[in-house]
Amino acid sequence: MNTQTALFEEDSKRLTELCLKLQQESYAKAVFLLDKDGQLLSSVGEVEEIDTTSLASLTAGNIAATGGLAKLLGEREFPVQVHEGEVESIHISLVGERLILVILFDNRSSLGLIRLKLKHSYPELLQVSHEIFNKPPEEVRSVFSQISDDDIDDFFSFD
């Protein structure tokens, strides 16, 4: 029953270009794109000081919990969340059914500007997202087809 998501070089590049454009035009500090399982697909901007793996996991947990809350109240989901801090704020939004966009911003930008620029970028992000998750099976040449049983045995031979 396992399914795999694969992010290929060309799709990764397109996503990163879109995130970078959004980050620069909105004067955001950083932009992250992740899937609902908490896997990071792209991160641009001032990300060196940020634990991106933790950020992705916590955001996905937050989205899952908020989604559960929405269903409890009879809503399909709450597609946008904003958390405002004293210095930094986070804008979290869903991109289609599978992706989460996180925009980190400070006083160089504003919530209004973030919303405006996101509105412009959204259709293209949605399009790429759709292409990634709806690839025909024959195009998904998984690395697992090249991995042998011996490779797996060797991998677990450590003490």
Partner 1 sequence: MSFINYSSREINCKIVYYGPGLCGKTTNLQYIYSKTNPEAKGKMISLETGTERTLLFDFLPISLGEIRGFKTRFHLFTVPGQVFYDASRKLILKGVDGVVFVADSQVERLDANIESLESLENNLREHGEDLEKIPFVIQYNKRDLPTAVDLSYLEEVFNPRGVQSFEAVAPTGQGVFDTLKAVAKQVLVELKRGDRHRAP
Residues of this chain that bind partner 1 (CB under 8 A): 1-9, 12-13, 35-39, 41, 51, 53-54, 57-58, 61, 64-65, 68, 137-138, 140, 142-147, 149, 151-152, 155-156, 158
In whole angstroms, how close is the CB of 107 to partner 1 at the nearest point? Answer: 27
135 HSE (CA, 13 A, CB side): 16
- Beta-carbon contacts of residue 113 (< 8 Å; ≥ 6 apart): 26, 27
Whose Cβ is closer to partner 1: residue 107's or residue 156's?
156
Whose Cβ is closer to partner 1: residue 24's or residue 53's?
53
91 three-state secondary structure:
strand
- Beta-carbon contacts of residue 153 (< 8 Å; ≥ 6 apart): none
Whose Cβ is closer to partner 1: residue 16's or residue 115's?
16
In whole angstroms, how close is the CB of 121 to partner 1 at the nearest point? Answer: 20
Q: CA 25, CA 20: separation in Å to the nearest integer?
A: 8
In whole angstroms, how close is the CB of 10 to partner 1 at the nearest point? Answer: 9
DSSP string computed for 34-59: EETTS-EEEEEES-TTS-HHHHHHHH
Whose Cβ is closer to partner 1: residue 1's or residue 87's?
1
In whole angstroms, how close is the CB of 19 to partner 1 at the nearest point? Answer: 13
